[in-house]
Amino acid sequence: MPKESFAERVQRWERMDAGLTERADELAFLAADHATLQTLVGAAKGKDARQEALKAELQQETQGLNQTVKEILALEKRLRSSLKGKYGASNEVLESFGIRPRKRR
């Protein structure tokens, strides 16, 4: 049997709520549980909405992070090139910048 989705569960809970509301007179002994069901379903729907908003925010932040990393990599490439141009590709001073100098032959 396939796993039940959150939306399917909510529909099932809302059908139960509707049935309990419709027959509230004859099911008065379930009034407390019915109220709890309504409260918990509302809370679950609110948490689901918040989770979806956080997923969207995460996606935006990930895209922003990826763009920033891309810019840093381009800047790093320019800096490495400039430092190698200034000191020479085999100068050991490059190590102080985290650049491995080319071995001399």
At 103, the pLDDT band (50, 70, 90 cuts) reads confident
Q: Give the side-chain half-sphere CA count within 13 A for 79.
A: 10
Q: pTM (2 decimals)?
A: 0.69
Range of lowest pLDDT (17-21, 47-51, 99-103): 99-103
On the CB side of 91, CA atoms within 13 Å amount to: 12
| Amino acid in position 6 | F
How far from each other are the two terminal CA atoms of the chain, in whole angstroms? 69
The pLDDT tens digits of the residues spanning 31-72 come to: 999 999 999 999 999 999 999 999 999 999 999 999 999 999
- Residue ranges per domain, the chain? 6-97
Give the pLDDT mean for 78-96: 95
Q: What is the rounded distance in angstroms from the CA atom of residue 90 to the CA atom of residue 94?
A: 8
The pLDDT assigned to 35 comes to 98
Contacts of 94 (CB under 8 A, 6+ apart): 83, 84, 87, 100, 101
pLDDT score at 77? 97
What DSSP string describes 55-92? HHHHHHHHHHHHHHHHHHHHHHHHHHHHHHHHH-TT-G
Mean pLDDT taken over the chain? 95
